[in-house]
Amino acid sequence: MIIILDRELVDYEFEDIKNVIYLNIASSAIPPRCVKTAYFNYIENQIKTYGKTAISDGRRVLYSAKENIAKLINADPSEIGFVKNTAEGIGIIANGFPFKKGDNIIVCDQEFPSAILAWINLQHKGVEVRTVTFKEGNILIKDIVNRIDKNTKAVVISAVQFTTGFYIDLHHLGDVCRKNDILLIVDGIQAVGRLDIDVKKMNISYLACGGFKGLLSTFGVGFVYCDKSIVKDIIPLSASHLNTKYNYNPPQMDYDFSEIEWHEDSRRFEAGHLNYAGIAAINEASKLINRLGILEIERHIFELQKELISLINELPLKIMTPLKEENYSGIFSIYYPKEKDNEIKNIMDKYNIVATVHNGYIRLGINFYNTKEQIIKVAEAFKEMSKLV
């Protein structure tokens, strides 16, 4: 059954970007109306109730957000934990999982720092970091397979690469990891909310995702998904009232000084109170995405990417993104001569296009609120730019 994107709802929610062609989701989202309302309402209620319900409201919204995110990525709500950002999410497993001397981890060489630096940091424990080299914007699964040996413990990868928008086939990679009995650890921030990420079908062991891109929310809040089968192996860095089984009943505290009893699900990553306003934002955003339907969102994004490529393919532009449909993500980039920076930025402004334009490189991030008419305008802008290069 083909579901049709509810355009009226989308236009209502994204009124704030109706006067521009907003193509910067790979950088950050402009939150929709429901997200803005939920974020500010949380604080408003905290003030109005003199804080009486701030914690109970926060806990309620936290559990609701876990359900909505779990639905979006096909997980169980107990497998979702809230964190500050992607880096913190990846750091939790890098530092908390019992990786030991002699183990090796496979990463790709052009990744965003959060998918790489935590692993470089493990080298002091004797963990080896093995790199796979990008080839013209592609990562080949066979290159990953060639790096696997009996000491490989994990493959760490972004679902979508931040520079080129290259999407790696996570179903295939998940199968490779399953067959070799290794963890698949994913930085999901450039994919979740725009692409159909199914952590179970893709055999993803652990995924980290900040809230400010496809999750349409803001900074300082994100989530991790941790498969039930490995969660108890991870020892968090922080321990406090919310991620342990202590009987928290002040004024009399009842400590067992011999050991810590952690929660046995992803609550163990949430030591203390969290950014409940930010979580309220993610709750509404994931509700909206689920309501519109992630399959329909993905289909719409791919259609627009295909349209754009067909319109600009013949132009003399240096397209950086691999053009195979199986690697589409809606993120798309092009090089231009750095000395043309001002002229390129002027053309982007003239057409009201908001995208990343930086250092000889344009990155467009398509999302479900973009329309075919906008894509035609973007192609016109590129036609004009191509005369400069």
Ligand X SMILES: Cc1ncc(COP(=O)(O)O)c(C=O)c1O
Interaction between residue 104 and ligand X (CB under 6 A): no
- Taking CB under 6 A as the rule, does residue 222 contact ligand X? yes
Nearer to ligand X, 61 or 186 (CB): 186
Piece in contact with ligand X (CB under 6 A), picked from 30-38, 82-90, 286-294, 346-354:
82-90
Among the listed residues 112, 246, 302, 351, the single contact to ligand X using CB under 6 A: 112
Q: Is 86 in the site for ligand X (CB under 6 A)?
A: yes
For position 157 contacting ligand X by CB under 6 A, the verdict is: no
Q: Nearer to ligand X by C-beta: 85 or 305?
A: 85
Q: What is the closest distance, in whole angstroms, from the C-beta atom of residue 31 to ligand X in the complex?
A: 16
Residues 18-57 that bind ligand X (CB under 6 A): none
Identify which range of 34-42, 55-63, 187-195, 250-258 contacts ligand X by CB under 6 A.
187-195
Q: How far is the CB of 208 from ligand X (least distance, A)?
A: 8
Q: Any contact of residue 333 with ligand X (CB under 6 A)?
A: no
Q: How far is the CB of 357 from ligand X (least distance, A)?
A: 16
Nearest CB to ligand X, comparing residues 46 and 158: 158
Three-state secondary structure of the chain: CCCCCCHHHHHHHCHHHCCCEECECCCCCCCCHHHHHHHHHHHHHHHHCCCCCHHHHHHHHHHHHHHHHHHHHCCCHHHEEEECCHHHHHHHHHHHCCCCCCCEEEEECCCCHHHCHHHHHHHHHCCEEEEECCECCECCHHHHHHHCCCCEEEEEEECECCCCCCECCHHHHHHHHHHHCCEEEEECCCCECCECCCCCCCCCCEEEEECCCCCCCCCCCEEEEECHHHHCCCCCCCCCCCCECCCCCCCCCCCCCCCCCECCCHHHHCCCCCCHHHHHHHHHHHHHHHHHCHHHHHHHHHHHHHHHHHHHCCCCCEECCCCCHHHCCCEEEEECCHHHHHHHHHHHHHCCEECEEECCEEEEECCCCCCHHHHHHHHHHHHHHHCCC
* Number of residues forming the site for ligand X (CB under 6 A): 12
One of 182, 189, 204, 304 touching ligand X (CB under 6 A):
189
- Minimum Å gap between C-beta 210 and ligand X is 3
Q: Decide: 117 and 187 in contact? Cβ < 8 Å.
A: no
- Which of 46, 64, 152, 158 touches ligand X by CB under 6 A? 158
Site membership for ligand X, residue 190 (CB under 6 A): yes
Q: Are 191 and 160 in contact (CB under 8 A)?
A: yes
Window contacting ligand X (CB under 6 A); options: 52-60, 79-87, 95-103, 266-274:
79-87
Tell me how far, at minimum, the Cβ of 380 lies from ligand X, in Å.
Answer: 28
Residue 162 lies near ligand X (rule: CB under 6 A):
yes
Minimum CB distance to ligand X smaller for 158 or for 217: 158
Chain residues that interact with ligand X, rule: CB under 6 A: 85-87, 112, 114, 158, 162, 187, 189-190, 210, 222
